[in-house]
């Protein structure tokens, strides 16, 4: 529990747009309250002090396992009537040893545990600090929590916590245990499956709306629908519709969703998000064409903001390198007159936009008796240095007339050399 860890949680929630109404609260601030409730249980005989050492407990555990018994505490100190303040002790909850503790899980349905299987769990350590299962009950009871939603690795903690609620005379909340997220190999998601930090996905170029959509849809469904806005998720989500089985994290599905949200995203917002990715590549966006216009040419083909940043580089590189294979194929002596004629026609073009640029290309093709790709591909290589680039008309409009002419000049010189 470092400040860095706390900040990572809060930053992740802020990035995802998951706002909170109050807090955060820190259990370390509530130690006096926990001690008060420990003493209440001791005074009411619902808890007791245990003086067994760690070595004694380990010996008891090994003996129980050797004899085929469950390695739970054997109750050595359960009925002690005297208290020795000079001896180190923990405080244990006096759990019932008969009957059943049951609850109706909102996701998994009815779940029950035989009380004889439950331990007299430690609620306060020998140094006076309280334990997890005890403090979460006090926290939730004091805050009026009515529903606890958590991972299903906590199911075994639930009967112990229910018994504590009842012993303290507190209302028992509803419980909903969400299945774990698994990696593609059906084992619990971990670092070996890739990034598991929410903020790492931001740095990998994912949009928060795509992450929220994907993560909710990972364990919940609404018919065959895949894409949900935040408002739709709020209106349609029901905890009872969460799946009972574990969700498998599928990076390709996340990429597909992210590409969708980039495609329909507001170009101005995407431009703002793109700036740090460009700067990390040594690009100052102010030095080139309008970033919003650049984004518009790349939205259709970018799955992440990282891909968009890589795709945008040629717009901001003054002396971009030509792909050798592409230059050898398209920037030839035979192509030079055609590129020169294209340059001449574009230089006199008014107004300079996608429609008029497209008309220039079509007229040039008609005059030369060739098909559009025979002009478009050499022009694309000339202006971007590669064959894979956005639509050539959009690229020219975005670069503007002066930069387009400069780049054509540079390519023509290469073709003639």
Q: Which residues are catalytic?
A: 191
Going from the C-alpha of 366 to that of each of 168, 339, 353, the distances in angstroms are 88, 15, 20
And the tokens for 108? 């998994």
Residue 181: strand pairing partners: 247
Could you give the 3-state DSSP secondary structure of residue 184? coil
Q: What spatial distance separates the first Cα and last Cα of the chain, rounded to whole Å?
A: 65
Rounded to whole angstroms, the Cα distance separating 28 from 31 reads: 6
Q: How far apart are CA 369 and CA 235, in angstroms?
A: 58
What are the b/e assignments for 339-359, b being 16+ CB within 10 Å?
Answer: beebbebbeeeeeeeeeebbe
What whole-number distance in Å separates Cα of residue 57 and Cα of residue 89?
A: 13
250-269 in b/e form (b: 16+ CB < 10 A) is eeeebbebbbbbbeebebee
Beta carbons within 8 Å of 125's beta carbon, 6+ residues apart:
90, 131
Strands 147-151 and 174-178: parallel
CA–chain centroid gap for 78, Å, is: 46
For 341, residues 6+ apart whose C-beta sits below 8 A from its C-beta are 364
Please tell me whether residue 91 adopts helix, strand or coil conformation.
strand
Q: Please tell me the distance from the alpha carbon of residue 400 to that of residue 389, in angstroms, as a whole number.
A: 16
| SS3 category, 114 | strand
Which residues, in sequence order, are CB contacts of 69 under 8 Å at separation 6+? none
Count CB atoms within 10 A of the CB of residue 211.
Answer: 21
């Amino acid at each position: 529990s470092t400040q860095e860890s706390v900040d990572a949680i809060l930053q992740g929630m802020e990035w995802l747009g998951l706002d909170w109404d109050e807090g955060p609260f820190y259990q370390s601030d509530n130690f006096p309250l926990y001690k008060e409730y420990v003493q209440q249980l001791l005074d009411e005989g619902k808890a007791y002090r245990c003086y067994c050492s760690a070595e004694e407990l380990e010996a008891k555990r090994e003996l129980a396992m050797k004899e085929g018994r469950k390695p739970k505490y054997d109750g050595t100190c359960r009925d002690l009537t005297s208290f020795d303040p000079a001896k180190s002790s923990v405080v244990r909850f006096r759990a019932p040893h008969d009957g059943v503790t049951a609850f109706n899980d909102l996701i998994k349905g009815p779940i029950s545990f035989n009380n004889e299987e439950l331990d007299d769990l430690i609620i306060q350590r020998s140094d006076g600090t309280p334990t997890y299962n005890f403090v979460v009950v006090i926290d939730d009871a004091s805050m009026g929590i009515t529903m606890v939603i958590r991972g299903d690795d906590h199911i075994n903690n639930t009967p112990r916590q229910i018994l504590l609620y009842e012993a303290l005379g507190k209302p028992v909340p509803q419980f909903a245990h969400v299945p774990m997220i698994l990696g593609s190999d059906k084992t619990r998601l971990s670092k070996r499956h890739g990034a598991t930090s929410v903020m790492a996905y931001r740095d990998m170029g994912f949009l928060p709306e795509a992450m929220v959509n994907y993560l909710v849809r990972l364990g919940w469904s609404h018919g065959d629908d895949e894409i949900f806005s935040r408002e739709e998720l709020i209106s349609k989500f029901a905890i009872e519709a969460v799946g009972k089985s574990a969700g498998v994290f599928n990076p390709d599905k996340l990429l597909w969703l992210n590409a969708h949200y980039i495609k329909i995203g507001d170009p101005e917002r995407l431009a703002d998000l793109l700036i740090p990715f460009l700067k990390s590549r040594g690009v100052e966006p102010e030095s080139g064409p309008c970033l919003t216009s650049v984004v518009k040419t790349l939205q259709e083909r970018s799955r992440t903001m990282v891909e968009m940043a890589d795709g945008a580089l040629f717009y901001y590189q003054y002396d971009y390198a030509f792909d050798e294979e592409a230059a050898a194929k398209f920037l030839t002596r035979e192509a030079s007159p055609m590129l020169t004629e294209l340059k001449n026609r574009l230089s006199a073009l008014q107004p300079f936009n996608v429609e008029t640029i497209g008309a220039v290309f079509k007229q040039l093709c008609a005059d030369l008796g060739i098909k559009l790709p025979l002009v478009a591909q050499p022009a694309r290589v000339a202006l971007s240095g590669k064959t894979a680039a956005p639509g050539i008309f959009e690229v020219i409009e975005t670069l503007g007339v002066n930069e387009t002419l400069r780049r054509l000049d540079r390519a023509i010189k290469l073709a003639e050399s």
